[in-house]
Amino acid sequence: NWTNASIIADQVAAIREQVGDKQVLCALSGGVDSAVAAALVHRAIGDQLTCVFVDHGLLRAGEAEQVETDYVQATGIKLKVVNAADRFLGALSGVADPEQKRKIIGREFIRVFEQAAREIALEGDVEFLVQGTLYPDVVESGGGTGTASIKSHHNVGGLPDDLKFALVEPLRTLFKDEVRAIGAELGLPEAMVWRHPFPGPGLAIRIIGEVTRERLDVLRAADRIAREELTAAGLDRDVWQFPVVLLADVRSVGVQGDGRTYGHPIVLRPVTSEDAMTADWSRLPYPVIARISTRVTNEVPEVNRVVLDVTSKPPGTIEWE
């Protein structure tokens, strides 16, 4: 595609011009924006770029592997993976309040990233940080640029002064659909290019109650089934986001075989939206919902009830926390 190719060529030239022979850092989240931004920068300056992926243990099934394996294979990017699941889970232990969870995750993220950035900085002068800022983000924040920390995406306050970077923002003039097209043109994995938006705090805000390893496993198993069935029905692009929420502190009675069960409900929250500011609940075909329900209750023993959220935004939010 000529347009995408020329956008890529222009950005590659601009990045080379801005960065020169300096080292550049990028935090990958698993999302489209940071993945495409990093791939563009890599196309421009190769191994002057180092990416950091903080695996906080709150991603969905297969997402960490997608970054560590598929993405690295597709791009050849130099990636430092930090497996920090124990640390995040430790910090979240006993915490049920949504804003508290966000604060803790943001704080831990910045600490882990800082540590990784320091280690990388030891190997050479790092002066730049890549951010996947899109045009709508620029407009929303009043158009400013300059030095900053990690995108608000990660709910982070900022980096310390000795770790301030100039920003490289190759997606600043682009909309989401253009970013996806460029990602595809750069050969990124299809599943990554078409990934639905996913909150920085991840599954932690989709477990209503305390976040534990066991609860994450339950939610991950249910979420995987919901996503598989949505994809199998060819509906990925009709839905904006499809949160699956575990009501971990709620139990309800069920029956399976000869036995009574006392398990947990999950909530399906598929929504359509243009920009996440407002949303409507998706009218998914009943057969798709039925397959998800049957599979989840058969394959995830801890879940004995599946409910559908039919609330628009407003008054509901997309996420439950």
Q: Which residues are annotated as a binding site for ATP?
A: 29-35
Asked if residue 200 binds ligand XMP (CB under 6 A), the reply is yes
Binder among 82, 276, 307, 308 for ligand XMP (CB under 6 A) = 276
Closer Cβ to ligand XMP, 229 or 321, answer by number: 321
Q: Which of residues 236-275 bind ligand XMP (CB under 6 A)?
A: 241
From 57-65, 135-143, 196-204, 280-288, span contacting ligand XMP (CB under 6 A): 196-204
From 86-94, 116-124, 285-293, 310-318, span contacting ligand XMP (CB under 6 A): 310-318
Closer Cβ to ligand XMP, 251 or 313, answer by number: 313
Q: What radius of gyration, in Å, describes the C-alpha atoms of the chain?
A: 20
Binder among 199, 263, 265, 270 for ligand XMP (CB under 6 A) = 199
From 63-71, 83-91, 193-201, 218-226, span contacting ligand XMP (CB under 6 A): 193-201
Best CA proximity match to 317, nearest among 216, 206, 224, 235: 206
Calpha distance 83→81 (Å, rounded): 6
Calpha distance 304→256 (Å, rounded): 9
Residue 218 host element (H or E) = helix 213-232
Tokens of 25: 């850092």
Please answer whether residues 26 and 41 qualify as being in contact, where contact means their C-beta atoms are separated by less than 8 angstroms: yes
- Cα 269–chain centre separation: 17
- Cα 175–chain centre separation: 18
Q: Which of residues 123-182 bind ligand XMP (CB under 6 A)?
A: 153, 155
Provide, rounded to whole angstroms, the least separation between the CB of residue 26 and ligand XMP.
17
Residues that constitute the known binding site: 29-35
Calpha distance 84→202 (Å, rounded): 14
Three-state SS for 203?
Answer: helix
Please answer whether residues 253 and 260 qualify as being in contact, where contact means their C-beta atoms are separated by less than 8 angstroms: yes
Asked if residue 313 binds ligand XMP (CB under 6 A), the reply is yes
Provide, rounded to whole angstroms, the least separation between the CB of residue 319 and ligand XMP.
3
Tell me which residues touch ligand XMP (CB under 6 A): 102, 153, 155, 197, 199-201, 241, 276, 313, 317-319
